[in-house]
Amino acid sequence: MVESGVATAVVPFGSVEGHGGHLPVGSDALLADVVGEAVADRLGGVLAPTVRVGCAEAQVQEPGTLSVPAETLCDLALNIARRLITDGFRVIVLLSTHGGNQAILEGAARQLNEQHPEVLACAPRGDVGPAPGARSGEWLTSVMLVVRPDLVNVESADADVNDEARAATAERGAHNLERFVSAMVETVQDQPRPRGSGGSRSRSLPE
């Protein structure tokens, strides 16, 4: 990929956790697939496979939740990024669709920038808007009606998110998704580039 002029690599991180009874436990990972592809396409970068299990300690009491310690996730991000750097990539985007991963990935990006001054590493935040609501509420339910509507069953929503889930629409989901992706892309584009870090068309690494 680098030989063809692509120097940007996008690594999505998701989560597997309980989501209010009406959304699949892998919602954040499924969303990371879609967001990662969109960000890689707009940046002209390579898309790495999604890291599906994240740090979900706040949700471990919910059925179906899987979680790894923060230190483990950070080490994983660093090792993936260092392999990509060795292969010649010069812009490393560690993006997350799960809030519990965000600070960890930001810390990993800082380490990479300190250790590899020739590289730009960043963990851009998506914009969920001023009032996203409950964690498994209208925002995520609307997005999942775009990403995987076949896996959404609002009738099964837990009582604490029932009203929000019923208010969700695919139209709102498309707007939410665009806002989320655009914020990440703009954040990366606004970063000063190290020399030789330009990119071209988007490609995907094999699973």
Which pLDDT tens digit goes with each residue over 35-91?
999 999 999 999 999 999 999 999 998 889 999 999 999 999 999 999 999 999 999
- The pLDDT score that the predictor gives to residue 1 is 54
Q: What integer pLDDT is reported at residue 125 of this predicted model?
A: 97
What per-residue string of b and e applies to 135-152 under the rule 16 or more CB within 10 Å gives b? bbbbbbbbbbbbbbeeeb
Cβ–Cβ under 8 Å, residues 120 and 113: yes
Q: Which residues of the chain are under the pLDDT cut of 50?
A: 199-203, 205-207
**Domains of the chain as residue ranges with CATH:** 2-190 (3.40.50.10310)
The CA-based diameter of the chain, rounded to the nearest angstrom, is: 53
Distances (CA, A) of 44 to 9, 16, 39, 78, 124: 9, 28, 8, 22, 16
Distance of CA 22 to the CA centre of its chain: 21
Q: What is the pLDDT of residue 205?
A: 46
